[in-house]
Amino acid sequence: MESFNSASKILESGRPISRLLIIRLSAMGDLLHALPAVGALRIALPQTLLTWVVEERWADLVSCAFVDGDGFRRALVDQLHRVNFQLWRDSLGARRTWREIARNIELLRNSAYDLAIDFQGAVRSSLLARLSRAPSIYGFSEAREKMASMWYTTKVSPPGKHVIEHNMWLASAVAGTGLPLPQIAFDSPDSRGASAGVRSASYIILNPGAGWGAKQWPPERYGEVAKRLARETGLGSLVNTGPGEENLTRTVQMTSQGAATPISCSPLELVSIMRFARLLIGGDTGPMHLAAALRIPVVAIFGPTDPSRTGPFGTRSAVLRNPNSQTIRSHRSSPDFAMLEISPDEVVGAALDLLRDSGD
């Protein structure tokens, strides 16, 4: 990376950064994309207290991440500030909700942060940085929501394309120097997924769900892929889906003719289960990015999102995207018809190639 002249480890007052606030609230994939940047800051600023503001449902995933490499092994952050925007939205009329919001604001204000870094680029994340009263707030000049940048004291325009590269650039601006990509690892219960009903010693993970409908490849095709891979490799498949995606699970299981088994697990349990997977097949989703972070081979099926920006990073992978797919920002539910042209044959072929490369 290039040198950074606009930032320094020493604030304008000449005082070292003793308390740094990190803001990336959700969701799984976006949090995983921020981990390398936060890990790089952990190494660059070993004496700085790092606090991460994160949604409650993802807090365990962040807390189990650590930096591991070159004799340096340490938890990614020193403390978590847990928030629950989803619950607050659903109970805005309740007094306890407003008391909880007020308590969180007071905690931010009283923590005496020297600097805040907003990896999210949303108005609510930028507002949290502002409410922290940190004298320096770093964020992207082209924030996801334009109004978010109004509270940034330093705006960074990163080169490159991938989100992980962008986040690394923002972290480097805070450190005042180009930071190398660190090795991120995860602690998780060594249960081999027993709590989620997993018994097989080796398997493929299928993740047919997605944050919005246009990113989904049809579930019956996942079932067909599971059936064919079981026949050709002897490996069964586990179907991972999120809340409200039970219909996807049933369709995959039914069309796989017994080759696919549903699982239900927390994010932390998924880390444990994924350690023993031979391969993950899925779209542009959090579990796909978790597999990449764990260096599990990935077949990534893309449609309306750009794999050069959010594709698998740091692992062996095959990215399948029809050239007629158009990148869109609106989270539409209607199908991406170009994505539907990706056939089970293509997915099975890509999966077999990756499995052969790993020794099968």
pLDDT score recorded for residue 2:
40
Rounded to 5 degrees, what are φ and ψ at 217?
-85, 145
Average pLDDT over residues 316-330: 93
Same fold for the pair 19-186 and 194-357: yes
193 against 104, higher pLDDT: 104
| pLDDT > 90? residue 277 | yes
CA-nearest of 247, 243, 238 to 220 is 247
Average pLDDT over residues 147-173: 97
Q: What is the rounded distance in angstroms from the CA atom of residue 99 to the CA atom of residue 22? A: 23
B/e letters for 114-141, b = 16+ CB within 10 Å, e = fewer, are bbbbbbbbbbebbbbbbbbebebbbbbe
Furthest-apart CA pair in the chain: how many Å? 67
Q: What one-letter code names the amino acid at 99?
A: R
Q: What one-letter code names the amino acid at 303?
A: G
In this structure, are residues 56 and 267 in contact, taking their beta carbons and an 8 Å threshold? no
Domain range annotation of the chain: 19-186, 194-357
116 against 213, higher pLDDT: 116
Number of other CB atoms surrounding residue 316 within 10 Å: 15
197 against 133, higher pLDDT: 133
Q: What is the rounded distance in angstroms from the CA atom of residue 118 to the CA atom of residue 124? A: 10
Query: Whole-number mean pLDDT of the chain?
Result: 92
DSSP string, 108-164: HHTT--SEEEESS--HHHHHHHHHTT-SEEEEETT-SSGGGGGG-SEEE---SSSHH
| pLDDT > 60? residue 3 | no
Q: What one-letter code names the amino acid at 282?
A: G
Which of 18-32, 63-77, 120-134 shows the lowest mean pLDDT across its residues? 63-77
Q: How far is CA 142 from the centre of its chain?
A: 20
pLDDT score recorded for residue 200:
59
In this structure, are residues 119 and 144 in contact, taking their beta carbons and an 8 Å threshold? no
Which of 11-20, 35-44, 284-293 shows the lowest mean pLDDT across its residues? 11-20
339 against 331, higher pLDDT: 339
CATH class of 19-186: alpha beta
Angle at CA of residue 253, ends 350 and 341, nearest 5°: 40
| pLDDT > 90? residue 236 | yes
Q: Is the pTM here over 0.85, yes or no?
A: yes
pLDDT in tens, 184-227: 999 876 544 444 556 556 899 999 999 888 999 999 999 999 99
pLDDT score recorded for residue 5:
46
| Token duo for residue 239 | 């179907």
| Token duo for residue 47 | 């004496």
Q: What is the rounded distance in angstroms from the CA atom of residue 154 to the CA atom of residue 121? A: 13
Angle at CA of residue 245, ends 244 and 246, nearest 5°: 95
Regarding the domain delimited by 194-357, which CATH topology (the fold level of the hierarchy) does it fall under?
A: Rossmann fold (3.40.50)
